[in-house]
Amino acid sequence: MNLLTNSKFISFAWWIVAPALVAKLLISFGLLFLDDAKIEPLHVEAKNSSYMYSFPKFFTTTLKQKTKPKKVHKTVHLGNLKLKACYIEKGREFVIIGENNKTIFVDLKGTYKGAHLVSITSNSATFFKDGEYIELELAKKNISSRNIKKVRSTDVVPSDDKFVTVKRNSFKKYTQNPQQALRDIRFAEIRENQKFAGLRLSFIRKGSLFDKMKLKKGDIIKSIDGNELHSIMDLLPYYNLLDNSTTLLIGFERAGEMKEIMYEIN
């Protein structure tokens, strides 16, 4: 009798324990594939006589579709546009591009002929147009120091503090190679009460043309040819006409005092 009872008890216990062992084995097997996946406990809560189940995130999270990065085309030109110079200064970034015989300033995040300027480096600029990124690079001749001509003392003839004579050819290397100009002189917009207050010269290379033109680091350019500046973009018309100009009048503030220098270009 005891044997019969024990046999029935063992049989009954086996039918209880066996499913639990099988479930445990399945869970252990599944964990091998989950690795470090975070498993949340299974919650059951009553709501309006029905049950709501919360399953592990591993099973419920849908895989995000990976979007292909936009293709970047590297080129020296964008249609008829050529990258001539890149300017990166605290608070201001822009590029100088050439189109035929024109020179154009384009601010970072600005747009020119449907091309959006999205990023600038020291020798390249990336535009976004028609769903694609296009990277313009400076021509090698623009970034090679071999092509940089040193300024001779005869390029500038100072007569006094207010009048300076400049050789026309000494300007040409800057108009033809704006990147060199940005290596020899750098400036930053000054604002007072959120209004433009001039362009501060933050760097002038010693021995450069600008150094010999009696300009100094810290000078704040206020006007050109008697016309008040309102942004860095106001330099563009004078830059484009520099090759044909005979004079250039620069008004600036130095140590709190207003000054002017007249440059004769011949």
Check residue 47 and give its pLDDT: 46
pTM equals 0.56
Same domain, 83 and 176: no
Residue 17 has what pLDDT?
60
Rounded to whole angstroms, how far apart are CA atoms 183 and 112? Answer: 25
Domain contains 41: yes
Residues 84 and 124 in one domain: yes
Three-state secondary structure call for residue 142: helix
108, 141, 174 - which closes a domain = 141
Whether 135 and 167 share a structural domain: no
Asked if residue 65 belongs to a domain, the reply is no
Burial class (CB in 10 A: 0-12, 13-18, 19+), 129: middle
Residues 45 and 86 in one domain: no
Do 175 and 248 sit in the same domain of this protein?
Answer: yes
Copy the structure tokens of residue 154: 């005869």
168 and 131 inside one domain: no
One domain, residues 165 and 250: yes
Residues 169 and 252 in one domain: yes
Could you say which of 103, 122, 141 is where a domain stops? 141
Asked if 80 and 22 sit in the same domain, the reply is no
Q: Answer whether residue 66 is part of any domain.
A: no
Helix ranges, the chain (H): 2-34, 57-60, 140-143, 168-176, 178-184, 209-212, 236-241
Q: Say how far apart CA 28 and CA 178 lie, in whole Å.
A: 68
Q: Is the domain of 211 the same as that of 249?
A: yes
The pLDDT of residue 172 is: 83
Start-end of H helices in 38-91: 57-60
Q: How far apart, in whole angstroms, are the C-alpha atoms of residue 84 and residue 104?
A: 10
> What are the 10-residue block averages of pLDDT along the chain, 266 residues in total?
54 62 60 49 45 44 52 73 83 83 85 90 88 84 45 62 85 84 88 90 92 93 92 83 88 93 90
Q: Look at residue 253 in the predicted model and tell me its pLDDT.
A: 95
pLDDT value for 52: 44
Domain end residue (candidates: 60, 85, 105): 60
pLDDT score, position 60: 44
Which residues span the domain enclosing 240? 148-265
